[in-house]
Amino acid sequence: MTTNSLDQKSQAWSGLFTEPMSELVQRYTASVFFDQRLWKADIQGSLAHAQMLFECGILSAEDFASIQRGMALITEEIEGGHFEWKLALEDVHLNIEARLTQLVGDAGKRLHTARSRNDQVATDVRLWLSAEIDLILLLLNDLQAALLALAEKNIDVILPGFTHLQVAQPVSFAHHLLAYIEMFSRDAQRMQEIKARTNCLPLGSAALAGTSYPINRLRVAELLGMVNALGEPQVCQNSLDAVSDRDFAIEFTSACSLLMVHISRMSEELVLWMSQNFAFIQIADRFTTGSSIMPQKKNPDVPELARGKTGRVVGHLMGLLMLMKAQPLAYNKDNQEDKEPLFDTVDTVKDTLRIFAQMIAGEKDPITGVESGGLRVQKEAMQTAALKGYATATDLADYLVKKGLPFRDAHETVALAVKQSMKQGKALSDLTLQELQSFHPSIEADVYAVLSLEGSLHSRMSLGGTAPDQIKSQIQRHALRLQKESACL
Ligand code: ARG
């Protein structure tokens, strides 16, 4: 075994340097304490690279075998928690390579033939992120399934639909939940599209200009599973672009920002709905906290925090955009700063999706079988709120239009009727037929059917409307889609 030339980082470059790095600069430039989470992708990438070098006759069979043996040992060390990460070795790549050389000697030093850390790190991040996107897709599917199950149980539960947060028209609670399913389904679509662009191989671009070794980049892509839906290897086609752009990380964080904005809108509603003024829902106690001073309080901390964490993810998007904007081609060390925002985005989104699915659906302990409930719907409170706000006024106007009035006149007539009922503290449906007829003689006894919440709901059967039949067919469509999507995950 030869001595390890990477033990001190200054020796990693060459004899060109006349003084060692100061401790402060070492700390400032190192990334090992956060990028070590890329270790698996780094080893995977190195093994594929080594295999290709061997297959192309650039690396001997013995050296390839030594590298495989060394990487297996390193995997054990890292998994067992006894790998020694060294700040002096700057990052995950140099740490693993140094340990490999320590374990297997010269073969370890030959691994870096025809590659640079520039194409190596870009490959690691893309590999790691592709796998994380798969997990996020799974969690998005789960959350949609949780919302769908709740929707199925609440087709006939009516709450006021709002515009400007003013009572507007009655809608089914299931319809409201389906709106979020639509948003999350688009988030999943975006993730799929971004995964296809992320899962593309930079390795073989070397430092920036490609390499003079007779390598086979397509083979490496194939070995790493960087292939498209047809199974064709995906390889970055310009070496300068491959080592330097981080647009895949930016678009991923952008899609996550949008996803979190959707979560945040839902959080805002959960918080409102849980307040005493609405009292539409109860969130299970284990997702709420009490107050240290006000004994009566139960605070919806989880949705509030999710709303707050949305700002954090959007901030990461801004950070990554700013990181990229003034970088000349090709690689610059600035790019090392892509990791913390990216990692934190992934952690935040995964935790949020998991906790939301549990909060909505409840959970069942796989061992004890004990079920803990999810979101509890207070249907009477929803119904009462819908009755309070003259939510069926549009239905009365539509009724008059069907009797031959122009819509603008019908609108005005109903406005007067609402004003009158407000004065009397009554709902529209509380007015007698005579009273209603005083607003317009064409009103007949059948008007009460449209003034009821149920009548209003059932009448909105346009595609995508809130009528129960529409809702049922949407539920069916989503159930099929989710099933199909989860089979591919
Ligand atoms: N830790 C570095 C990063 O994350 C690896 C690439 C370093 N390349 C270089 N030429 N210094 O970007």
Q: Is the pLDDT of residue 99 over 60?
A: yes
Identify the CATH number of the domain defined by range 14-113: 1.10.275.10
Q: Quote the CA–CA distance of 76 and 90 in Å, as a whole number.
A: 21
pLDDT number for residue 1: 39
Q: How many other CB atoms are there within 10 angstroms of residue 16's CB atom?
A: 6
Q: How many other CB atoms are there within 10 angstroms of residue 203's CB atom?
A: 30
Q: Classify burial at 239, counting beta carbons within 10 Å of its beta carbon; exposed 0-12, middle 13-18, buried 19 or more.
A: buried
In this prediction, residues 247-261 reach a mean pLDDT of 98
* Separation of CA 50 and ligand 1 centre (Å): 20
Q: How many other CB atoms are there within 10 angstroms of residue 368's CB atom?
A: 7
pLDDT (tens digit, 9 = 90+) per residue, 443-469? 999 999 889 999 999 999 999 999 999
pLDDT number for residue 16: 87
* Separation of CA 81 and ligand 1 centre (Å): 24
Q: Quote the CA–CA distance of 345 and 128 in Å, as a whole number.
A: 13
Mean pLDDT (the chain, rounded): 95
pLDDT number for residue 362: 84
CATH class of the domain whose range is 121-157+172-188+243-364: mainly alpha
pLDDT number for residue 156: 97
pLDDT number for residue 297: 80
Q: Is the pLDDT of residue 295 over 80?
A: no
pTM of the model: 0.94
Q: Whose CA is nearest to atom 3 of ligand 1?
A: 336
Question: CA dist 221 to 224, 227, 479, Å?
Answer: 5, 7, 35
State the catalytic residue, choosing from 60, 275, 291, 473: 291
Q: Is the pLDDT of residue 144 over 60?
A: yes
pLDDT band at 14 (very low <50, low <70, confident <90, very high): confident
pLDDT (tens digit, 9 = 90+) per residue, 195-241? 999 999 999 999 999 999 999 999 999 999 999 999 999 999 999 99
pLDDT (tens digit, 9 = 90+) per residue, 342-384? 999 999 999 999 999 999 998 887 788 888 889 999 999 999 9
Specify the DSSP element, H or E, that contains 440.
Answer: none
91 lines ligand 1 (CB under 6 A): yes
Amino acid at 453: L
117 lines ligand 1 (CB under 6 A): yes
Q: Active-site residue 112, yes or no?
A: no
pLDDT number for residue 290: 84
333 lines ligand 1 (CB under 6 A): yes
Domain ranges of the chain: 14-113, 121-157+172-188+243-364, 388-459
118 lines ligand 1 (CB under 6 A): yes
* Separation of CA 285 and ligand 1 centre (Å): 46
Q: Is the pLDDT of residue 299 over 90?
A: yes
Q: How many other CB atoms are there within 10 angstroms of residue 75's CB atom?
A: 16
Q: Active-site residue 66, yes or no?
A: no
121 lines ligand 1 (CB under 6 A): yes
Q: Which two tokens stand for residue 196?
A: 């296809």
Q: Say whether domain 388-459 belongs to CATH 1.10.40.30.
A: yes
How is 307-355 classified by DSSP, letter by letter? HHHHHHHHHHHHHHHHHHHTPPSS--GGGGGGHHHHHHHHHHHHHHHHH
Amino acid at 30: A
336 lines ligand 1 (CB under 6 A): yes
89 lines ligand 1 (CB under 6 A): no
Specify the DSSP element, H or E, that contains 379.
Answer: helix 379-388
* Separation of CA 29 and ligand 1 centre (Å): 10
Residue carrying the six token digits 């990229």: 324
The C-alpha torsion from 223 through 225 and 226 to 229, rounded to 10°, is 130
In this prediction, residues 118-123 reach a mean pLDDT of 98
Q: Which two tokens stand for residue 485?
A: 């999507």
pLDDT (tens digit, 9 = 90+) per residue, 41-81? 999 999 999 999 999 999 999 999 999 999 999 999 999 99
Q: Quote the CA–CA distance of 46 and 52 in Å, as a whole number.
A: 10
The C-alpha torsion from 52 through 58 and 62 to 68, rounded to 10°, is -30
pLDDT number for residue 182: 98
Q: Quote the CA–CA distance of 152 and 165 in Å, as a whole number.
A: 25
Q: Is the pLDDT of residue 4 over 60?
A: no
In this prediction, residues 15-34 reach a mean pLDDT of 93
Q: Which atom of ligand 1 is nearest to 207's Cα? A: 10
Q: Whose CA is nearest to atom 11 of ligand 1?
A: 333
pLDDT > 90: what percent of the chain?
88
State the catalytic residue, choosing from 164, 212, 292, 462: 164
303 and 266 Cβ atoms separated by less than 8 Å: yes
3-state helix, strand and coil shares in percent for the chain, rounded to the nearest 5: 65, 5, 30
